[in-house]
Each structure stands twice: as structure tokens, then as C-alpha cells.
Amino acid sequence: MSAFSLPPFPLHTDCPPVGLESLRVSDYQLQASSSLSSGLGPHRGRLNIQSGLEDGDEYDGAWCADIKDKEQWLQLDALRPTLFTGVILQGRNSIWSNDSVTWQPCMNGSQEAVFVGSQDQETPVLALLTEPTVAQFIRINPQSWFSTGTICLRAEILGCPMSVNPYNEFTWERGTTDKLDFRHHNYAEMRKLLKAVNDECPDITRIYTIGKSYTGLKLYVMEISDNPGKHELGEPEFRYVAGMHGNEALGRELVLNLMQYICHEYKRGNQRIVRLVKDTRIHLLPSFNPDGYEAAYEKGSELSGWALGRYSYEGIDMNHNFPDLNNIMWDAQEEATDKKKVSNHYIPMPEYYTTTEALVAPETRAIISWMQDIPFVLSANLHGGELVVTYPFDCTRNWIPRQDTPTADNDFFRWLAAVYASSNLVMANPDRRMCHFEDFQQYNNIINGADWHTVPGSMNDFSYLHTNCFEVTVELSCDKFPHASELPVEWENNKESLLLYMEQVHRGIKGVIRDKDTKLGIANAVVKIEDLDHDIRSAADGDYWRLLNPGEYKVIVWAEGFFPAMRQCSVGSEPQATICDFNLTKTPQERIKQILAKGGKIRRDEQLRTRALRMRKLRVSTKILNRRREQQLRRAKAKRK
């Protein structure tokens, strides 16, 4: 077949990935000269694909040829004329074709081009074609490999699909009608975007910071509310946290898209958004780990690999960096003669965690302090690299590698996870391909975190056991750092899920717990649901929120110095919390004296005191460490000058 007659193209055309990593390319579009096994077939030759847990299974981590010679190849059928501009791979030689029969070698001047591939298992290597060419098929043809190894590679291919018009212009489907800033934002650009949103919607937005990263980058939060900067009595607080792993960049961009979208739609009078803003105080943290993100961003979306930027500047995985309260609770239950007396909520962090010697990232310390300051009710932790929603517990008992480990609120957590997964356009697609080696569709794209893999010290578990906030993890995409061209489509995939999940903060019961005599709110009153072994507490003004599925509940409330109270509360199926207020009567001093005279004990909230004391210690040690770090940074800057 003759080559296409085309006008000349610029040498460095900026074409995006065709989609091996993002799964835009289907398995049937990939072929190979030979394969070592079915689990090492051409469909596994995708950039950053991860292997299964068992050697020799159907889900290995690359394409591998069965024959060791220079005639082996991995081939892509792009299905349409495409301007190929480069490859990211572990192999070397690239050739192309328009009909998969007649092949033309990639040239470097008068010689066939041979590109340097990867020298290790993980580092992606970019090879730009010196002469970008239009074709439908492209082959990657490895020319050398380690003598003790096999021909194996994972790849991505850069190319612009050509439109069917006389000029053969490059066109890319936008994927959405929303006019948002679809690109990857580094730290400086993120700050500009936050300011732009705040300038456009000053009446409903506020920018604040909760701390700094190890290198001094601020952890910015965008608050969205009809009364920004103020907790309104009875109004629940919601948060999205993205970028815990800095290289999982999609969550960061979705959070930035979300704040723009809410601003635009609020101004347009979209009643769903207006209601959400008026009834909810929303907090959006786009970058938990800005140091990690900057490292990944500098390399680029396809070249950062699977792990670069995942960890903090100090090499800490923040997903394991929170206090492990699960085992503290479980150990106490095993030792207790009466398990009902073991606390199931507001568990204090351990003493060692509050010291300056504890290996706790400054970012983690900032998040914990933030959790303490604001009475969050619901949250989601946005990750990437898979397509699944996980719910607590994330940690197994007895250090088992994986085992279903449910919370007392398992049914509601499953509901939360299903709300996001069932409304996500990719997760809900029954024909989608699995990302790596686990088929989460058999679980309807939700799974107990510990049943996937155990994660001691996760933010989800800490949030549930140390605060009132319920939190799930959303794995947003197979590709941790999708190309900017994919962002409009990813926004559409997740837009409804992001909004619908936020609306779940209005389920269950809510109310205000007051002193019957003074009518003032009672802080830290315990709210107990009969037959549910997880309590929550009232906020500083006495208001509380208890997420619950539809049903009838017996609710018991008590606070130190007051008689307990009980009432029946009914929860409907609509996302509108049932009002369930309480007025508590103070325990008379005469009654206290009688109890003590008979040898009885007055119920003391010692756990609350311990929790507050440990939090104060953590904040003191954080200030000390921050001062040390700032001094080190100043000295380092002075030396560079």
C-alpha cells in the first residue's frame, strides 16, 4: 500500500499517548511476533502495567517474546491514520506500516534509527522519532537484550490521530462541554488557579493553608460555602483529599476541576449546586504531597514511572503514616473482660507518635491537626493506578496479608463505595478491561480495603477511629498520571460521582445536644446507636451528624456531668438527615454525693482528656520540627548563594 500524501510536519510535534497505559487502546489492537506465554502476550505490553501475585499466571508484567532473535516485534494497530512521533519503551527499533504488510523502517537521516531503551525494569525512556510519519500500524522491534534474559518490554506510543479532511489536521475529542482548565498544574500554576477561582466566586470561596511540606510548599485548601470561614450550626463538613501519593495526579486535577465547576454552576444558578453550597461546608485539598508531585511533574506524565513522586521528600509513604489505632483497639478488646467498655471511637494516638523522634511526615502532622480543628463528617481520599473504591478497615487483624475486616458501619461504607463506583462512567462499564491483574468488577468495583491488601496506619482507618469522619479511598484510573489530553474525558467519567458522593453527607441523623437549663450546646457528648458498636461525638457547639442507612434507631446520648437521654429516630431513604435533638439534664451535686457515699463511681471521660493531651503534644513537637526544618532550609539557601 502506498504511503499517504501529506504536507510536511514540524519536527517536534507534541502528540499525546495513543493510550496503551490508559486502556484507550484495546487488547485486540496489540499483536506480537511471538509470546513466551499467554500471561506475557502483547496485551501485557502496556507502560506501567503491574504483574499478578503468582509467577506464571495470566497477568504478568510485560510482553515477552518466545524467540530470542532480532525479528521479534510488538505491533499496534491504531485503527486510523496516525502521526506517530515517538515511543516510550524498553525496546529499541521502531518501524511503521499503512497496511501491516509493507513496512518502512524509521530513519535517522540515511540510516535506520535505533533508540536506546531502558536499562532497568521500571524507568521509562522516551525516544522521539526524527521523522514523524503517518501510518496505521507501528512495530517496536527490540535489537538487543541482556544475555541472561528474555526479550520483554512495556511501551507507550505517541501519536496524533488524523481527521478525515483534506488537510489531515490533528483533532482530539474534548470529551466534555464544561469550560475548565484541563491541564496539569504544578505548584505555581495551582496557586494561580486557586486565586482565579477565589476571585471569580469570592462570596462562596476561601483559600487557607493547613501547613507546609518538608521543602516548605504550602498545603492549600479551597473552602466552598455560602458562609466561608465559618462553621454553621447543623451544617455538615465535607472534604476531598487528593495527592497523598504525589505521582497519582488525576485526583489533584479533578479536585481543581471540581472547584471551578462549582463556582461556574453556582453563578449560573444550577439548583443542585446552589443547594449543595448552601447546605454543606466543602473543603478541597488538591495536593497532600506537593513535594512528590513536583518530582513526578518534572519528569512528565509518561516518564515518571510507577513510583517516582509516590513518597514524601523524606521517603515516607503517607498512606502508612497515620497512627495505627486499629491494633490498639483490638488489643484492648482481647485483654478486656467486658469488651463493651473498650472505646470504639475517639481513640487517642499513642504517646510515641507525639514526640519529635517519631517518623511522622510534616504533611501527615498537618492533616491530623486539620482533622482535629474541623468536625468533618464525610471524606474521600483520591488515589490512582486502579479502578475501585475501597472502604475501611484497611488494616487486617493479626497482620494477615489480606482478609475482609469490616467496621461496625460496614453496610453504610459499602453504600458509600457503591454510590461512587456505580455512577463512575468507567467503573460502571461492564465491558471495561481490568487495569492490571485483579478483576474488581466481580465485586461491583468496591472492596473492603483490608481484603485487597492490608494497610496499617491508613488515613481512612485513622479518620474513623480518631474522629467522627467516615472516609473511603477512590482509585480513579488505571493510569496514575494520565496525559493532559485525557483530563476532559476523566472529568466526565468522575463528575457525577464526585457530586453524588458529596451529597451522601446529608444521610442519617443530625441534631444539637444542649444543656436543658442553659440551652447552650454541649461539646463532646457521646452519641451511641443501639446495636452499632461505633459511637460519635458532638462538635464544639453541640451539633452532631451520624451517617446511617434508612431504618429505625434507638439513639442514646450522654456527656460528663449530665444524665443520659434516649429517643427513637427514623431515617428515610432520601439524602436528607432526620433532625434528632437532645436536651440533657445536669447531674445534681446532691446525687453525686449520694453515689460517692455508697462507694459508686462518677463516670469520667478520661479518654477525651488523653486524646486532647496527646494532640497538644503532637502540635508542640510539630512546631519544634518545623522550626528546625526552616533553619536547615535557610542555611542551605545561604550556602548556595
The predicted pLDDT at position 598 comes to 66
Q: 563 to each of 98, 105, 533, 594, how far by Cα in Å?
A: 82, 85, 21, 15
Closest CA to 71 of 128, 1, 141: 141
| Secondary structure percentages of the chain, helix, strand, coil, to 5 | 30, 25, 45
The predicted pLDDT at position 94 comes to 44
The predicted pLDDT at position 340 comes to 77
Which stretches within 92-227 are classed as H helix? 187-200
Residue 359: count of CB within 10 angstroms of its CB = 10
3 state SS of 227: coil
146's CB contacts (< 8 A; 6+ apart) are none
What are the start and end residues of each CATH 2.60.120.260 domain in the chain?
A: 27-161
CA quadruple 221, 225, 228, 229: dihedral sign: negative
Q: Does domain 514-587 have CATH number 2.30.40.10?
A: no
Q: 419 to each of 117, 138, 318, 414, 509, how far by Cα in Å?
A: 43, 41, 26, 9, 19
What is the distance between the alpha carbons of residues 250 and 385, in angstroms, rounded to a whole number?
10
The grid cell for 244 is 497523598
The predicted pLDDT at position 166 comes to 46
What is the distance between the alpha carbons of residues 162 and 149, in angstroms, rounded to a whole number?
38
What is the distance between the alpha carbons of residues 230 and 516, in angstroms, rounded to a whole number?
26
Which residue do the cell numbers 513537637 mark? 621
**With contact defined as beta carbons under 8 Å apart, do 429 and 26 qualify?**
no
Residue 479: count of CB within 10 angstroms of its CB = 28
Please provide the CATH number assigned to the domain covering 27-161. 2.60.120.260
**With contact defined as beta carbons under 8 Å apart, do 385 and 478 qualify?**
yes
**With contact defined as beta carbons under 8 Å apart, do 115 and 94 qualify?**
yes
What is the distance between the alpha carbons of residues 267 and 277, in angstroms, rounded to a whole number?
11
β-pair partners for 40? none
Q: How buried is 73 (Cβ within 10 angstroms: 0-12 exposed, 13-18 middle, 19+ buried)?
A: buried
C-alpha 440: how far from chain center: 17
3 state SS of 165: coil
β-pair partners for 240? 284, 380
3 state SS of 347: coil
Options 3.30.390.30, 3.30.110.30, 3.40.630.10, 3.40.50.12780; CATH of 187-339+370-506: 3.40.630.10
The grid cell for 83 is 502521526
Q: 551 to each of 9, 79, 548, 571, how far by Cα in Å?
A: 65, 53, 8, 5
The grid cell for 38 is 499467554
DSSP-assigned letters across all residues of 439-471: -GGGGTTEEEHHHH---TT-HHHHHHHHSS-EE
- Tell me the Cα Rg of the chain: 28
The predicted pLDDT at position 144 comes to 74
Q: How buried is 493 (Cβ within 10 angstroms: 0-12 exposed, 13-18 middle, 19+ buried)?
A: buried
Element (H, E) at 161: strand 156-161
DSSP assignment, residue 586? B
Total number of residues shown for the chain: 641
DSSP assignment, residue 433? P
The residues annotated with a catalytic role in the active site are: 475
β-pair partners for 389? 446, 474
Q: Which residues of the chain have pLDDT under 50?
A: 1-12, 91-96, 166-172
What are the start and end residues of each CATH 2.60.40.1120 domain in the chain?
A: 514-587
DSSP-assigned letters across all residues of 528-573: EETT----EE--TTSEEEE---SEEEEEEEE-TTB--EEEEEEE-S
80's CB contacts (< 8 A; 6+ apart) are 136, 161, 162
439's CB contacts (< 8 A; 6+ apart) are none
User: Phi-psi bin for 531: left (phi > 0), alpha (psi -120 to 50), beta?
Assistant: left
**With contact defined as beta carbons under 8 Å apart, do 261 and 180 qualify?**
yes
Which amino acid is it at 580?
C
3 state SS of 320: helix
What are the start and end residues of each CATH 3.40.630.10 domain in the chain?
A: 187-339+370-506
β-pair partners for 95? 105, 139
Residue 36: count of CB within 10 angstroms of its CB = 18
The strand pair at 152-153 and 103-105 is best described as unpaired
**With contact defined as beta carbons under 8 Å apart, do 360 and 313 qualify?**
no
